[in-house]
């Protein structure tokens, strides 16, 4: 296994993210985000927290040759995969709290399921607004909280029981900004008073409970840190908690819902 990057991800985890998480979860969200942002041919767009480029690659098809798409991510491992898939995109490693772009550089800034991993999300929103041109749009998606995403709540609780509290918290980390009032307050603190926050329904589908658990462990931040015995125990513990979403040996399919926040630059 390769050495983890600054975000704690290995190249193997990034490959697993692209091969497993994207088809199971993320493939359905670019169309929703592009529609919410009103992307048009000729737009100059920045994808902040682009990961392996699930959104970035769809943006390039919409903006066309007259527009441009830039992708930024903190993880070199994720960017390595993104560059292989989209060699024509200008990808950069960088920090969302200090974007390496000049003011008023983009018509649209987008951030897909990244904001919850930032130490200071208000600063990140300020930075994304800074690089917008007058009249530009900022569109950000976050998962709703675990109380509205019950399978991930069950996964967090099962992980806490089988492994430890820290691992359980890590499983719930992606959902930590998924409260409407909290999200609205972050945008207001960043000076974006006129922000629309809309609930969107989505879903997740994995071939089995075993695949779901293995993906969550090995294609994300806990890759290489959990034993096969613990993964098997966690799988059995979770299976009992999510029986309504999975058969004994078949796929697990469940709702996975999000908020999309949109604001404009004066």
Residue tagged 């903190």 (tokens):
74
Residue 245 in domain: no
Q: Cα dist. 108→155, 158, 173, 198, 222 in Å?
A: 35, 39, 27, 18, 33
Please check whether residue 59 lies inside any domain of the structure: yes
Give residue 2's pLDDT: 86
The answer as to whether 114 is a domain residue is yes
Phi and psi (nearest 5°) for 73?
-150, 155
Q: Dump pLDDT digits (tens) for 162-203.
A: 999 999 999 999 999 999 999 999 999 999 989 999 999 999
First to last CA, the chain: 47
Give 92-143 pLDDT, tens digit per residue.
Answer: 999 999 999 999 999 999 999 999 999 999 999 999 999 999 999 999 999 9
| Structural domain of 68 | 11-148+174-205+255-264
Check residue 123 and give its pLDDT. 98
Q: Report the number of distinct structural domains present in the chain.
A: 1
Residue 184 inside a domain? The answer is: yes
Instruction: Assess if residue 247 is contained within a domain.
Output: no
CATH of the domain at 143: 3.40.50.150
pLDDT at residue 219 tops 90: no
Residue-wise pLDDT for 220-237, tens only, equals 778 778 899 999 999 999
Tokens 């462990």 locate to 217
Please check whether residue 51 lies inside any domain of the structure. yes
């Amino acid at each position: 296994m390769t050495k983890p990057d600054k975000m704690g991800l290995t190249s193997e985890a990034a490959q697993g993210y692209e091969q497993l998480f994207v088809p199971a979860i993320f493939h359905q969200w670019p169309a929703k985000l592009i529609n919410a942002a009103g992307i048009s041919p000729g737009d100059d767009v920045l994808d902040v927290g682009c990961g392996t480029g699930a959104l970035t690659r769809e943006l390039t098809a919409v903006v066309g040759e007259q527009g441009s798409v830039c992708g930024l991510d903190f993880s070199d491992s994720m960017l390595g995969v993104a560059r292989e898939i989209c060699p024509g995109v200008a990808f950069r490693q960088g920090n969302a709290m200090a974007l390496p772009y000049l003011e008023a550089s983009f018509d649209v800034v987008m951030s897909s399921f990244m904001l919850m991993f930032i130490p200071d999300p208000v600063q990140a929103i300020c930075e994304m607004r800074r690089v917008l041109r007058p009249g530009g749009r900022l569109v950000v998606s976050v998962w709703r909280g675990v109380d509205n995403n019950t399978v991930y709540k069950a996964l967090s609780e099962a992980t806490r029981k089988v492994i430890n509290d820290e691992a359980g918290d890590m499983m719930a980390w992606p959902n930590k900004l998924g409260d409407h009032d909290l999200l609205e307050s972050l945008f207001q603190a960043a000076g974006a008073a006129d922000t629309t926050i809309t609930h969107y329904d989505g879903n997740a589908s994995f071939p089995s409970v075993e695949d779901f658990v293995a993906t969550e462990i090995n294609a994300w931040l806990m890759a290489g840190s959990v034993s096969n015995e613990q993964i098997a125990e966690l799988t059995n513990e979770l299976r009992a908690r999510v029986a309504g979403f999975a058969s004994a040996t078949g796929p697990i399919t469940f709702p996975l819902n999000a908020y999309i926040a949109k604001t404009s630059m004066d």
